Amino acid sequence: MPLTIATILKGVEQLDYEIATESRLVRAGLKDKQETDAIMQRHEWLASPSAVKLARAQVNRARDPDERDRLERLYFTCAGFYACRKQAKLDDELQGGLAQHQVKLGERQISYYNLSPRLQNEADFEKREQIGAAIDGVHRKFNPLKLSLLQRELRILRRDLGYKSHIGYYQAQKQFDYEKFIATLDDSAHRTALLFRDHVARWVGDKIGRPFRAPDGKPALQRWHVSYLLKLGDFDARFPKKEMLPRLLGSLKRMGIDLKAKKSIKLDIEDRDKKNPRACVFPARIPREVHLILKPVGGLTDYETFMHEAGHALHFGFSDPKLPYEYRHLSRSHALTEIYAFLLQNITLDALWLEEVMRLNRKLAARIRYYRVLVDLCMYRRYIAKLKAEFAFFRQQEQRGEAALSDGRIYARTLTEHTGFIYQPVNYLFDMDGGFYSADYLRAWVGEAQFSERLQQNYGPRWWADKKAGRFLVDLWRSACTREAEPVLAELGCQPLDTSALERRFVELESLRA
């Protein structure tokens, strides 16, 4: 078969589907052993230096902006497949090891993937300490594999693809200036610091019964307790598992969006022992086959997580099938789809929605909104810290070489400083999402707050019950990932990367104080 852009694109479509399917089956606990290496071997012609070089050459020759954009997306996809091929065997070993790993807690053997849900729901302080220590132990055991994967990735970027740094590669792929964004976020973190400390200290004292700070002013609690705190388990009885789908599907129908009738979106919400607790969507073939996977843990968390993943699924499921493959599948970043995910997720923190759809009284609805906004503030500051730590980590690697890759101290110090909880260096590799995904999340947090304000201005405070708002969203979803988040927001009249709308939401904590 001659190697052309057309054959590469066709191969990418097939390989992308096979990898998505394999990853989904393992993630969902439907397959014990990940076998990505075997898939990559079947497509070795595509995951090759020749395919990468051809795509790069075509990018350099392209003069039409649309053609160049599509070719660049294809090039970075080929580069990613090449890196995947080089790492597949080791990654299979890691994923298989984690899926099979059991930890002894008391007299019971617990699957690694069941530790996080247990931590979220464990009311006993000492037992949370034990579960947290067990999670750290698993990370310590598998860190050598994670480190080997990272080392291989950096060597591939430098030696095979010709990029001087990890930062340079992802800035080119996503066409985004991380350093400038971090400066903006630093200012935002400074403005929200006192608000955060005041409300979180009170929350920790009330919920955990321990001081947030030690007498010397330093953090007093390990980060293990954050999961329990953010779970908002006190409200779980108000969000029964059996009513989740009827309530949420019914809520979407108020906007004229019938998720249940959208047969291309397949829901998997079964609770399997080996199912990864981290919810996700696998857009196997956009828009014809989209899988939404959720492992229920009970309560409000399930409701907001389902709505978050529904935002992704609907974005992909309503994408125009006539768009080129590159504009349906090969996004430069994930910021735009995360905006849609947060937009639907945050309907569940709307006090009017809580009163009307969940049938809660006004006082309780306001109380839940208070804590949900506080959770968002905690997560926002955590992800600012993650991005700063990851950026500093890779800057240090540029200066010190591979020796710096074993150093988790930047991570521990930065996360501890911004969240007020103690983070340990041992977790730095497991808390690092690939490709600066932390920045995509932050762009989405900032963008969603702006988007939400526009929807309220155009469709009223109950925009989530307005069919015109639903049609507006569907029209946006049809364009798939043709554009990045910031141009879409600019068309709505928003100033890209302006954190003021999000900060206005956080300031509500003062008037909502529970």
Does residue 292 contact residue 320 with C-beta atoms inside 8 Å? no
Do 94 and 184 sit in the same domain of this protein? no
Residue type, 17: Y
72 domain-assigned? yes
Residue 307 sits at the vertex; the CA angle it makes with 304 and 309, to the nearest 5 degrees, is: 110
Do 260 and 383 sit in the same domain of this protein? yes
Q: What average pLDDT does this structure show over 58-62?
A: 95
DSSP 162: -
Do 187 and 77 sit in the same domain of this protein? no
146: which 2 tokens?
Answer: 């994670």
For residue 273, give every residue at least 6 positions away whose Cβ sits within 8 Å of its Cβ, in sequence order, or none. 29, 111, 113, 114
Last residue of a domain, one of 60, 75, 98: 98
Does residue 276 contact residue 251 with C-beta atoms inside 8 Å? no
Give backbone dihedrals phi and psi of 281, rounded to 5 degrees, phi first: -125, 135
Q: What average pLDDT does this structure show over 11-16?
A: 95
The CA distance from 477 to 368, in Å, is: 30
Q: What is the pLDDT of residues 246-258, one digit of tens each?
A: 999 999 999 999 9
165 domain-assigned? no
Q: In this structure, is the dihedral angle defined by the CA atoms of residues 42, 47, 50 and 55, taken in order, positive or negative?
A: positive
Domain carrying residue 217: 178-512
Nearest to 307 by CA among 347, 351, 254: 347
What's the confidence (pLDDT) of residue 187? 97
pLDDT of 514 over the 80 cut: no
359: which 2 tokens?
Answer: 């049938």
108: which 2 tokens?
Answer: 């019971």
Give 392's pLDDT tier (boundaries 50, 70, 90).
very high
What's the confidence (pLDDT) of residue 298? 80
Nearest to 5 by CA among 44, 61, 64: 61
DSSP 237: G
What's the confidence (pLDDT) of residue 398? 93
State the average pLDDT for the chain. 95
Nearest to 513 by CA among 213, 195, 221, 235: 195
Do 185 and 94 sit in the same domain of this protein? no
Does residue 441 contact residue 379 with C-beta atoms inside 8 Å? no
Number of domains in the chain: 2
Do 195 and 74 sit in the same domain of this protein? no
For residue 242, give every residue at least 6 positions away whose Cβ sits within 8 Å of its Cβ, in sequence order, or none. none
CA Rg value for the chain: 23
Do 234 and 346 sit in the same domain of this protein? yes
Distances (CA, A) of 298 to 274, 372, 381: 17, 16, 25
Q: What is the pLDDT of residues 429-478, one digit of tens each?
A: 999 988 999 999 999 999 999 999 999 999 999 999 999 999 999 999 99
Place of tokens 């022992």: 273
Residue type, 433: D
406 domain-assigned? yes
Give 273's pLDDT tier (boundaries 50, 70, 90).
confident
In this structure, what CATH number is given to the domain that contains residue 240?
Answer: 1.10.1370.30
Nearest to 450 by CA among 482, 491, 510, 480: 491
What's the confidence (pLDDT) of residue 274? 83
Do 72 and 205 sit in the same domain of this protein? no
Do 208 and 344 sit in the same domain of this protein? yes
Residue 463, helix vs strand vs coil: helix
Do 197 and 78 sit in the same domain of this protein? no
144 domain-assigned? no
183: which 2 tokens?
Answer: 């400066």
The CA distance from 514 to 343, in Å, is: 24
Question: Does 117 sit behind a cis peptide bond, omega within 30 degrees of 0 on the bond before it?
Answer: no
381 domain-assigned? yes
Do 308 and 413 sit in the same domain of this protein? yes
Q: What average pLDDT does this structure show over 504-508?
A: 96
149 domain-assigned? no
Nearest to 507 by CA among 183, 191, 186: 191
The CA distance from 336 to 449, in Å, is: 13
Do 216 and 362 sit in the same domain of this protein? yes
235 domain-assigned? yes
Measured in whole angstroms, the distance separating CA 277 from the mean position of its chain's CA atoms is 13
pLDDT of 425 over the 80 cut: yes
108 domain-assigned? no
Q: What is the pLDDT of residues 342-384, one digit of tens each?
A: 999 999 999 999 999 999 999 999 999 999 999 999 999 999 9
Last residue of a domain, one of 75, 98, 121: 98
- CB 438: neighbour CB atoms within 10 A? 22
What's the confidence (pLDDT) of residue 1? 64
Strands 108-111 and 102-105, by their bridges, are: antiparallel
Last residue of a domain, one of 58, 74, 98: 98
pLDDT of 229 over the 90 cut: yes
What's the confidence (pLDDT) of residue 312? 97
Q: What average pLDDT does this structure show over 157-184?
A: 95
pLDDT of 513 over the 80 cut: no
Does residue 338 contact residue 444 with C-beta atoms inside 8 Å? yes
Q: What is the pLDDT of residues 480-490, one digit of tens each?
A: 999 999 999 99
Do 68 and 195 sit in the same domain of this protein? no
